Chain A
Amino acid sequence: MQRGSDSDVLIVGGGVVGCAIARELCCFDLRVTLLEAGADIGAGTSKANTALLHTGFDAKPGTLEAQLVVRGYRLLGDYADRVGIPVERTGALLVAWDEQQLAEFPEIVERSRANGYGAIAELSVEELYRREPELGPGAVGALEVPDEGLICPFTTPLAFATEVVLAGCELQRGTAVEGIERVPGGGFRVLTGRGEWRTRFLVNAAGLRSDEIDRMLGYARFTVTPRRGELIVFDKLSRSLVSHIVLAVPTKVTKGVLIAPTVFGNVMLGPTAEDVERKDDTSSTALGLAYLRSEGRRIMPALLEHEVTAVYVGLRAATEHVDYQVSIHADEGYACVGGIRSTGLSASMAIAEHVRSELGEAGLELSPRAEPLPELRMPNIGERSERPYQRGDLIDRDPEYGRIVCFCERVTRGEIRDALAAPVPAVDLDGLRRRTRAHMGRCQGFFCGAELAALLGAAGERGAPHEPAGAAAGAGG
């Protein structure tokens, strides 16, 4: 059995939280290993969510979640601007549709202030319809949350993982953890289907499987019950219908069905919230889609006249507890970062900062790297900033950026080439989609499906993207 390198810290789980923690630790002089069970990073819960950059206005005051979302909002917003993660600060309107929902407003405002967010304000019904004229009839009031925004859920974990690789740390995809043993005298042996890794400190950021990893170490603190969320993405031609994120008044169980633009220029409707048994049950359902359509017809009837571009399903890592399940065992160097629900994207960098600081107190030596990390600039896939097909200067230097392969999303051959050769390369069509938007549009491959398959196939034959096998061989100890 091959064996990976010895690490100072090994992180289990390459979702947005695990990637953020790995990136945070890579800023120090540490040997860091990030293991992801799936074929790609950010391909589980992190890829199919509402992709909102939350202010944390509605979190439960006093919880770790509230604290980390509020801080994460600022950290991630700044980071996104710096490295080129698409962000749109649209603001949100929380709409009440009956008197009972309206009666919740004082409590929501109070909670927001308790979380340190004072910019929340009530809007008149007239002002609400002036801002969102396509809203269905019957709204009785609204709260404005001017700082809520949209963020690209694909570029975010990818930027983190790219920095991890550029820092010379180890990323292993397609590597599922099967067992963990404590090493006498300190540290852990992490057993996977592709060999074993030794590490001094261990971080469990395994998302839906964080309870299973926790149990491998003998703890039984929480159980993850996957909560399925179905989302309908409408054609970009519907984008002009909506300007803000239109939120529902939250209930005990869910934040409700929202309508929001996406950074790709679509409009999203969802999510549903349904507890399911299997952690891989990302199937959409006739009932769920019918429910979303009926909610959508009520909230914004004109939206339903548009074509549907895609249906996505995500599973949130819900637990029986209200708060995140974050605990540090200083004695043995284990950090459990579980139960991170839909706010995890916004909170990711603050979670990482928190975990780093706790590990430092637990004895992890945090001395700065000899050389700072190189400046990172991610390829832009957001609709609001210039993309390669729009840049004459870029095309003049490299005509591949003028060769549009995916017509609906205007993705060029140059971008696909780059994504297949990036520090964290795409290994399949879904990975290519998340990195470039290819195949994400209204035709779903009618025009470009065969060409993309051929480009992926050619890259596979060159041996370029199949990173797990190649890199693991190089990293063998």
Chain B
Amino acid sequence: MSGPVVIVGGGPAGLTAARELGRRGVRDVVVLERELEAGGIPRHAGHQGFGLRDLRRPLSGPAYAKALRRFARDAGAELLTETMVTGWSPDGPLELTSPAGRSTLDPEAVILAGGCRERPRSARLVPGSRPSGVMTTATLQQLVYLKGARLGGRALIVGAEHVSFSAIMTLAHGGARAVGMTTELPRHQSLAAFRAGAAFRYRTPLWTRTAVSAILGRRRVETVELTDLDDGSTRAVACETVVFTADWIPDNELALMGGLAMDPGTRGPAVDAALRTSRPGVFGAGNVLHGAETADVAALSGWHAAQSVVHFLGRGEWPAAPVRVECRAPLEWVSPNTIAPGAGEPPRGRFAVRAREFLTRPRIEIAQDARTLWSGHLLRLVPGRSGRLPHDWTAAVDSEGGPVSVFVRSARG
């Protein structure tokens, strides 16, 4: 079997791309989903607030996932579940494994929409013993919302981003109490309303400038040792569960297998404003391109990739040597991160930028070969949340020139 478009990953980005391709008259759109059911992370995110920017209505995660599945199927896309891409050489077809057997697909266009994952404890090098009860938010959500598990007891949440606050609610649903939330940063990275909810409704304290320095326990977690990063003092917190939240990384194995050029900042495939990767016919969409944006933003990225695919199927053009966009610390990444002629506007008409630190009124400069392309202030940058840079400067990029550099001229901490 071989259709003109294969979408790898049936989360918000992939399903939205499938729907849009169908709407635009593209036949033979196949979505490959390795889970039992398409829908991605929202399948097991029991809280509200999905679908605001794309569907213009608030939904729970599972309801949002269900709606996206229906839209994609209604638009004519084929959703193949329990189907995983298990091989892809830089010049070969997609190799698939599913209960139906082994097969290959060599479509005209591929959209990579495999999403991202949270770094687990081991990747964060948190020492101590290896008891059970240590998990990421996604595992917690699946245990509670998909498997109906009752956790009970006390939990510590590591991280203070949007998803970290959602973990308080998930824990409550699973009968566990969040006894604290830690971040190594000087303040939380989410919304004031979420912080207030955590403090007053769930009585969960936020411990800033605090590192998890050890996890201890024989079979189950017994205590967690916390270190105050300012004075070096340590203390023990008794709990049975530790949830490592956020610290997202694109699930980028497939992109690397397929020989795609990667962006060192995002750790996902490098893409231009049309979401074209370095490999002709291969696009990227959603959170496989960078650490997590919310599901609706990923969906809009999928919509954008679909427009680019339609354009490509008609003409077959592919940029030869795009100009790279690099960012300097304390900036972490910029996306899209290559500039190519004819790419048009980026998704949602913006370049997303992330910083590793809190920056107030940062003055950002975009330059190529010592020539300033754009300069201006952002209100603020919060680690783990994207700032918005304009895109009109891309017209002034010299396609024969050196890399474009994005950096902070000045800021208050």
Contact = CB atoms under 8 A, between A and B. Distances in A.
Interface string A402-429: 1110011010000000000000000001
A400 B122 CA distance: 30
B86 A410 contact: yes
A410 B120 CA distance: 18
B123 interface: yes
Contacts of A408: 253
Contact of A237 (B97, B147, B213, B253): B253
Closest 7 CB pairs of A and B: A450-B142, A444-B120, A399-B99, A449-B139, A392-B102, A402-B99, A284-B127
Nearest to A392: B102
Given A282-B129, A288-B127, 12 more contacts: A280-B218, A283-B214, A308-B123, A309-B123, A392-B101, A395-B97, A396-B101, A444-B120, A446-B120, A446-B138, A447-B35, A454-B147
B69 interface: no
A264 interface: no
A395 B146 CA distance: 27
B84 interface: yes
B160 to A, nearest CB: 19
A389 B86 contact: yes
A383 to B, nearest CB: 13
A311 B125 contact: yes
15 contacts: A283-B216, A284-B127, A308-B122, A308-B125, A311-B125, A402-B97, A402-B98, A443-B136, A444-B122, A445-B139, A446-B118, A446-B120, A446-B138, A447-B35, A450-B149
How large, as a class, is the contact surface on chain A?
35 or more
Interface in B38-73: none
A286 interface: yes
Contact of A307 (B97, B121, B123, B129): B123
B290 to A, nearest CB: 16
A390 B98 CA distance: 10
Nearest to A307: B123
B102 A395 contact: yes
A310 interface: yes
Interface in A226-279: 236-237
Which residue among A236, A410, A446 has the maximum number of chain B CB atoms within 10 Å of its CB? A446
Interface residues of B, number: 41
B229 interface: no
Which residue among A285, A399, A402, A453 has the maximum number of chain B CB atoms within 10 Å of its CB? A402
Given A429-B132, A449-B139, A454-B147, A403 B122 contact: no
A366 to B, nearest CB: 41
Contact of B142 (A236, A308, A391, A451): A451
Interface of A: 236-237, 280, 282-286, 288-289, 307-311, 313, 389-392, 395-396, 399-400, 402-404, 407-408, 410, 429, 442-447, 449-451, 453-454
User: Which applies to chain A's interface (DSSP): helix, strand, loop or mixed?
Assistant: mixed
B169 interface: no
Contacts of A429: 132
Given A283-B216, A407-B84, A390 B97 contact: yes
A449 B135 contact: yes
Nearest to B82: A403
Interface in B90-138: 97-102, 117-123, 125, 127-130, 132, 135-136, 138
Contact of B256 (A237, A280, A282): A237
Contacts of B125: 289, 308, 311
A445 B135 contact: yes
B129 A310 contact: no
Contacts of B253: 236-237, 408
A313 B122 CA distance: 12
A404 B34 contact: yes
B263 to A, nearest CB: 14
Contacts of B147: 450, 453-454
A233 to B, nearest CB: 8
B143 interface: yes
Interface string B212-242: 0110101000000000000000000000000
Given A307-B123, A309-B123, A449 B142 contact: yes
Which residue among A310, A392, A442 has the maximum number of chain B CB atoms within 10 Å of its CB? A442
A399 B143 contact: no
B249 interface: yes
Contacts of B251: 443
B29 to A, nearest CB: 23
Interface in B146-162: 146-147, 149
A309 to B, nearest CB: 6
A283 B221 CA distance: 13
B139 A283 contact: no
A404 to B, nearest CB: 5
Contacts of A449: 135-136, 139, 142-143
Contacts of A288: 127
Nearest to A402: B99
A24 B84 CA distance: 42
B99 A445 contact: no
Contacts of B84: 404, 407, 410
Contacts of B118: 446
A446 B121 CA distance: 11
Contacts of A284: 127-128
Contacts of A280: 218
Contacts of A308: 122-123, 125
Contacts of A389: 86, 97
Which residue among B35, B100, B142, B146 has the maximum number of chain A CB atoms within 10 Å of its CB? B142
Contacts of B142: 449-451
A415 to B, nearest CB: 13
Nearest to A391: B102
A280 B131 CA distance: 13
A391 B102 CA distance: 7
A211 B332 CA distance: 54
Nearest to A430: B130
A407 B34 contact: yes
Nearest to B215: A283
Interface in B139-194: 139, 142-143, 146-147, 149
A442 B123 contact: yes
A174 B213 CA distance: 32
A400 B34 CA distance: 14
Given A285-B127, A450-B143, A453-B143, A404 B82 contact: yes
B117 A400 contact: no
A404 B97 CA distance: 8
A253 B362 CA distance: 54
Contacts of A453: 143, 147, 149
A86 B34 CA distance: 27
A404 B136 CA distance: 20
B143 A446 contact: no
B115 to A, nearest CB: 10
Contacts of B117: 443, 446-447
Contact of A403 (B99, B120, B132): B99
